[in-house]
Amino acid sequence: MNKMLRATEVAHVLSSTFLHEGQKVIDATCGNGNDTLFLAERVGATGKVYAFDVQEQALAETRKLLSERQQLDRVELIRDSHENFARYVDSAVDAIIYNLGYLPGGQKEITTNTASTLYSLQEGMKILADGGFISIVAYPGHPQGEQEANEIEKLLRGLPAPPWYVLTYKRLNSLKPSPYLIFIKKQD
């Protein structure tokens, strides 16, 4: 059987087409640092990545990974909720990446939740530059994740186009819902 790309992999493939050296971007849920590393490598030494997480363990993992890969110089690690972008980011950003849920290998109770994710998304849309994008990997395989994904979709379906274009990469023929990608592009 052909191995299909996972939602997290498609998020990187699609994001790569819009990321450039020197951009200012946000990782809204840095977790173990894989997305932060991806962003840091693409924006380069002249770019900037703001990496948010509510858990010290996540920031420590991200700091370790970025340091090992010599990418920490362009990253600001912030222990706060992604509801509070405006406290740390003083001008428009070119991209925001969310990977929802809990820290792999960490406490499953500390997870993103519907209210704070919706608030954060709305704050993110306010500071997104024209031409920028927001990538979200959602996990509807458990009740809380399903509610979170449904409410995100409800919010995004109501956005006017232009300037907002919202797409998904989602498996339809599986018995239980799989992780999927929601990608929001703001027109130039």
Ligand X SMILES: C[S@@+](CC[C@H](N)C(=O)[O-])C[C@H]1O[C@@H](n2cnc3c(N)ncnc32)[C@H](O)[C@@H]1O
The secondary structure element, H or E, covering residue 124 is helix 114-127
Q: Shortest CA distance to 156 belongs to which of 118, 123, 120?
A: 118
As a whole number of angstroms, the distance between CA 32 and CA 126 comes to 27
Task: Provide the minimum distance between the beta carbon of 163 and ligand X in the complex, in angstroms, as a whole number.
Answer: 26
Q: Which of 26, 43, 49, 52 binds ligand X (CB under 6 A)?
A: 52
Region of 14-22, 54-62, 88-96, 151-159 interacting with ligand X (CB under 6 A): 54-62
As a whole number of angstroms, the distance between CA 136 and CA 78 comes to 19
Q: Which of 10, 41, 114, 116 binds ligand X (CB under 6 A)?
A: 116
Task: Provide the minimum distance between the beta carbon of 73 and ligand X in the complex, in angstroms, as a whole number.
Answer: 19
Region of 11-19, 29-37, 164-172, 174-182 interacting with ligand X (CB under 6 A): 29-37
Closest residue to ligand X in the complex (CB): 31
Task: Provide the minimum distance between the beta carbon of 103 and ligand X in the complex, in angstroms, as a whole number.
Answer: 4
Residue 158 CB burial class (10 angstroms; 0-12, 13-18, ≥19): exposed
Nearer to ligand X, 101 or 132 (CB): 101
Q: Which of 10, 14, 18, 34 binds ligand X (CB under 6 A)?
A: 34
Q: Shortest CA distance to 15 belongs to which of 42, 33, 47?
A: 42
Task: Note whether 165 and 184 are within 8 A (CB).
Answer: yes
- Contact flag: residue 29 with ligand X (CB under 6 A): yes
Task: Note whether 86 and 127 are within 8 A (CB).
Answer: yes
Encoded tokens for 62: 């991200």
Nearer to ligand X, 63 or 163 (CB): 63
- Contact flag: residue 15 with ligand X (CB under 6 A): no
Interface contacts to ligand X, rule CB under 6 A: 29-35, 52-55, 58, 81-82, 99, 101-103, 110-112, 116
